[in-house]
Structures are given as structure tokens and as C-alpha cells.
């Protein structure tokens, strides 16, 4: 029981990585506040958490809206009265069919050109299809959401004087910056920088701030990718497969628990070897 008597606030906890993290934290003894913009999905996960550790709650929280974040933290205060761990996990990728179609067909054309002529003549031009609203939404959910929740969590952790942990979900896109979603890459890169800056500030009161930068993990987030695209990703991955949500949850448990007491300002990247940064 690595998180016995701890409390955790998880954003985007209704699906994929957030759900796996919530379940594992509960299995390790934490009372989890499972939050999501979709309350029904958060409640389903909270019910699963309660089977391992009583007391898990679900809350609707839209991380892109600071008033929704404030209200969710206030509700968590009433239920738990304490906060040990914040996991900033909520996120999206592009699902706009027009954007995806343009990107996918051009990506395939590029691959065919590389295999036949050896040089690329088709240009991706993703920037041409990115509207102000799309760019805003990407930054709002990932970067602003991380900021809003951290701004709520840190004063609570400081005040209680028992330290704490903040885990921010970045991506290999934040440093490897693969083509196709420059706004997503920018948001994730900013989350890595924000994590380091907060790690320096929060160290004086014992709060450790780290990021996880997963590679491609098989969750509902990747629904816009077809099986052929997933197979191509697996082929480029030295471990020859996509990751599982539970493998990211294990990284989160390491950063939340007693085995990482000298780790702060770092990024842990479970990615099957598709990106080797050091
Ligand atoms: N799956 C991957 O391959 C992968 C790789 C690297 C990083 N990530 C990151 O991991 C995080 C979780 O992704 P996932 O794969 O579990 O995706 P997912 O789609 O399975 O789950 C994301 C959850 O976030 C919620 N959400 C979306 N917008 C929200 C908002 N405004 N406020 C609150 N909740 C909101 C969704 O309702 C959903 O429950 C994201 O930040 C994503 O960018 C995922």
C-alpha cells in the first residue's frame, strides 16, 4: 500500500490514463477524487476505486474553465479536507474530421513519395487548417488546465505543511514534436517547462513536481488513428507495440509514492523506445 491514507485529485479521470491512474492509486490505498468534464464517466471510475479504498468521489471539472476548477477543489475540500497528490492529466487531440482527413491523406502521400522517389513533394500544411478556436482550445485544456489546477493545489499543500506531489501529463510530443499537431506539441512542451519552474518554487515546502511524457498509449484518445496508423507506430517503436494505460499508471505511482522522494523537476517517458532523449 504505497499511498495509504493519501488523497489524490485526478483530472480527466473518466477515461484512459486518468482512469488507470485513479484505479491504481485507489488499489494502493489512496482516496481518489476522480474528476472529468464528463461526470458520468468519472463516477464509473470512482465506483471502481471505492471497491479498493472507500471514500473515492467523482466531480465534474472542466479544466479549461478556472471557475469550474475552483468549484471542484472546494468540493474536494469538503469531502477530503486534505490534498496530497494532484495529477494534471485531462487532455484532447484533434478530432475535427476535416483537419484529420487533410493530415492523414497527406501523411500517406508523403510516405509513398519517400518509398518511391525518396523525397517529399506533398506538404502537410497543418498550420493552414488550425483555426484560432482550435489553437485556443488545445492550449486552454492542456496548459491553462494544468496552471488552474496547480494554482488551486499548491496553496493547500503549502498551508498544511506536509509536502505533496504534482504530476503533469506531458507527451513525447512536447520534446520530440512529431508533425501533425503543432498546437498539441506546443502545449505539451509548455507543460514540461511549467513543471520544472513549479518544481523549483515548490521545493521549499516539500512539494515535488514532475511530468510524465508518454509515447503512444492505446486509449480512447487514439480513436482518430486507424489500425494501419497504429501498426505503423508500433513498427517504429523498438518494443514493437503501443503502451498500455496501466504502464503509465505505474509511472504515476512511482512519482506519487515513497520511491521518488529525491525526484523533482523531471520528466519520465514510458514510450517503448520510440523517442530516446538522452
Ligand atoms: N494516449 C496517448 O497516446 C497519450 C500519449 C501522450 C500523452 N497523453 C496525454 O495523456 C492524457 C490523457 O490521455 P488519454 O489517452 O487518457 O485520453 P482519453 O481521451 O482516454 O481521456 C482523456 C479524458 O480527459 C477528459 N477531458 C477532456 N477535456 C477535458 C476538460 N476540458 N476538462 C476535464 N476533462 C477533460 C475526457 O473527458 C477524458 O475522460 C492527455 O493529457 C493526453 O494528452 C496521451
User: Which amino acid residue places its CA nearest to atom 23 of ligand 1?
Assistant: 12
Give the whole-angstrom CA distance, residue 219 versus residue 203.
33
Residue at grid coordinates 499508471: 249
Radius of gyration (C-alpha) of the chain in whole angstroms: 19
43 touches ligand 1 (CB under 6 Å)? no
141 touches ligand 1 (CB under 6 Å)? yes
Mean pLDDT of the 27-54 span? 98
> Could you state, in order of their start, the residue ranges of all structural domains in the chain?
7-93+136-268
CA–centroid distance, residue 50 to ligand 1 (Å): 22
The CATH number for 7-93+136-268, chosen from 3.30.565.10, 3.90.550.10, 3.40.640.10, 3.40.50.720, is 3.40.50.720
220 touches ligand 1 (CB under 6 Å)? yes
Tens digit of each residue's pLDDT (9 = 90 or more) over 227-271 = 988 999 999 999 999 999 999 999 999 999 999 999 999 999 999
| pLDDT of 278 higher than 80 | no
Known catalytic residue: 205? no
Query: Cell for 181?
Result: 499537431
Q: Which atom of ligand 1 is nearest to the CA of 243?
A: 3
pLDDT mean across residues, the chain: 96
Query: pLDDT over 90 for what percent of the chain?
Result: 88
Query: What band does 36 get if pLDDT is binned at 50, 70 and 90?
Result: very high
Query: Cell for 50?
Result: 471505492
Tens digit of each residue's pLDDT (9 = 90 or more) over 114-151 = 999 999 999 988 898 899 999 999 999 999 999 999 99
Tens digit of each residue's pLDDT (9 = 90 or more) over 66-108 = 999 999 999 999 999 999 999 999 999 999 888 888 888 898 8
CA–centroid distance, residue 118 to ligand 1 (Å): 36
Amino acid at each position: 500500500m504505497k499511498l495509504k491514507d493519501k488523497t489524490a485529485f485526478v483530472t480527466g479521470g473518466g477515461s484512459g490514463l486518468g482512469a488507470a491512474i485513479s484505479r491504481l492509486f485507489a488499489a494502493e490505498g489512496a482516496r481518489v477524487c476522480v474528476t472529468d468534464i464528463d461526470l458520468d464517466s468519472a463516477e464509473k471510475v470512482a465506483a471502481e476505486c471505492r471497491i479498493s479504498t472507500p471514500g473515492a468521489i467523482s466531480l465534474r471539472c472542466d479544466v479549461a474553465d478556472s471557475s469550474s476548477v475552483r468549484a471542484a477543489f472546494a468540493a474536494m475540500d469538503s469531502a477530503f479536507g486534505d490534498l496530497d497528490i494532484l495529477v494534471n492529466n485531462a487532455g484532447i487531440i484533434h478530432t475535427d474530421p476535416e483537419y484529420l482527413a487533410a493530415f492523414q491523406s497527406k501523411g500517406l502521400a508523403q510516405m509513398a513519395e519517400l518509398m518511391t522517389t525518396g523525397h517529399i513533394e506533398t506538404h502537410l500544411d497543418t498550420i493552414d487548417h488550425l483555426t484560432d478556436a482550435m489553437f485556443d482550445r488545445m492550449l486552454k485544456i492542456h496548459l491553462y488546465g494544468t496552471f488552474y489546477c496547480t494554482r488551486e493545489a499548491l496553496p493547500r499543500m503549502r498551508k498544511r505543511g506536509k509536502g505533496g506531489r504534482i504530476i503533469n501529463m506531458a507527451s513525447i510530443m512536447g520534446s520530440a514534436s512529431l508533425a501533425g499537431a503543432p498546437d498539441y506539441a506546443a502545449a505539451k512542451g509548455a507543460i514540461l517547462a511549467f513543471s520544472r519552474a513549479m518544481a523549483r518554487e515548490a521545493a521549499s515546502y516539500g512539494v515535488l513536481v514532475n511530468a510524465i511524457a508518454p509515447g503512444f498509449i492505446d486509449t480512447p484518445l487514439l480513436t482518430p488513428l486507424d489500425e494501419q496508423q497504429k501498426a505503423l507506430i508500433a513498427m517504429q517503436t523498438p518494443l514493437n507495440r503501443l503502451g498500455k494505460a496501466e504502464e503509465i499508471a505505474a509511472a504515476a505511482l512511482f512519482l506519487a509514492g515513497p520511491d521518488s522522494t529525491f525526484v523533482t523537476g523531471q520528466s519520465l517517458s514510458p514510450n517503448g523506445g520510440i523517442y530516446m532523449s538522452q
